[in-house]
């Protein structure tokens, strides 16, 4: 029997579990990962995992909340080009700098989001509250534009990492950013028309 609650007094327990969960999700994907295997990696009792995190979706969400890899931020800042190009380059760098083959973390996220509505809700709130809140522009057209930018980025990651369309899947991050950045920048600047529907 494992020693239960062995790290219960440890202030780092929560972080240890999150790190173990991140490793397990990366190794086996969202669907195959189990609380039991995560507890084993963290050398804690499964009950302790449930104590800190209600269930697997909640634990997955927590793995997405850790500070981002600082390399990603640096790469985004150092990238040449327009704000749109830098946004695409930083977005791709986030998924290509983790453990496993490039894009592995996006595939895991996609499994989680499409399987667990609570994960999808968390991502939606994350996007709305932390990424897009506080932008200058507002109103309906601003909302549509940020919907469009989000859609383009997620579609790009899906096509590159999951469907693996060519030439997108094999091109360098630099080239992808150069090709997709300008259209996204037009949306960021608000000078790309997103016309309303006429009445049918």
Chain residues 115-154 in contact with a copy of itself, contact rule CB under 8 A:
115, 120-121, 123-124, 127-128, 140, 143-144, 147-148, 150-154
Task: Give the C-alpha separation, 162 to 157, whole Å.
Answer: 8
Applying CB under 8 A, does 183 fall inside the site for a copy of itself? yes
Of residues 104, 42, 149, the one with CA closest to residue 112: 104
Applying CB under 8 A, does 37 fall inside the site for a copy of itself? no
Task: Give the C-alpha separation, 181 to 177, whole Å.
Answer: 5
Binding mask 56-85 for a copy of itself (x = CB under 8 A): ------------------------x-----
Applying CB under 8 A, does 9 fall inside the site for a copy of itself? no
Task: Give the C-alpha separation, 174 to 85, whole Å.
Answer: 9
Applying CB under 8 A, does 165 fall inside the site for a copy of itself? yes
**Chosen residue from 114, 137, 170, 189 binding a copy of itself by CB under 8 A:** 114
Task: Give the C-alpha separation, 200 to 188, whole Å.
Answer: 29
What is the per-residue burial (b if ≥16 Cβ within 10 Å, else e) of 32-64? ebebebbbebbebbbebbeeebeebbebbbbbb
Residue numbers of the site for a copy of itself (CB under 8 A)? 29, 31, 80, 107, 110-111, 113-115, 120-121, 123-124, 127-128, 140, 143-144, 147-148, 150-156, 158-159, 162-168, 172, 174-175, 177-180, 182-183, 192-198, 200
């Amino acid at each position: 029997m494992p020693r239960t609650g062995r790290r219960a007094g440890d202030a780092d327990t929560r972080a240890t579990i999150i790190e173990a969960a991140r490793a397990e999700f990366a190794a086996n994907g969202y669907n195959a990962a189990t609380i039991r295997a995560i507890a084993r990696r963290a050398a804690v009792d499964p009950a302790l995992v449930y104590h800190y995190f209600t269930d697997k979706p909640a634990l997955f969400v927590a793995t997405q909340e850790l500070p981002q890899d600082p390399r990603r931020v640096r790469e985004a800042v150092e990238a040449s080009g327009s704000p749109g190009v830098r946004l695409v380059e930083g977005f791709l760098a986030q998924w290509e700098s983790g453990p496993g083959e490039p894009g592995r973390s996006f595939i895991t996220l996609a499994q989680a989001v499409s399987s667990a509505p609570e994960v999808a809700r968390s991502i939606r709130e994350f996007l709305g509250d932390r990424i897009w809140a506080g932008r200058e522009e507002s109103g309906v057209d601003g909302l549509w534009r940020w919907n469009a930018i989000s859609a383009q980025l997620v579609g790009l990651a899906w096509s590159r990492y999951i469907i693996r369309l060519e030439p997108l899947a094999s091109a360098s991050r630099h080239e992808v950013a150069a090709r997709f950045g300008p259209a996204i920048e037009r949306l960021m600047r608000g000078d790309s028309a997103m016309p309303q529907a006429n009445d049918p």
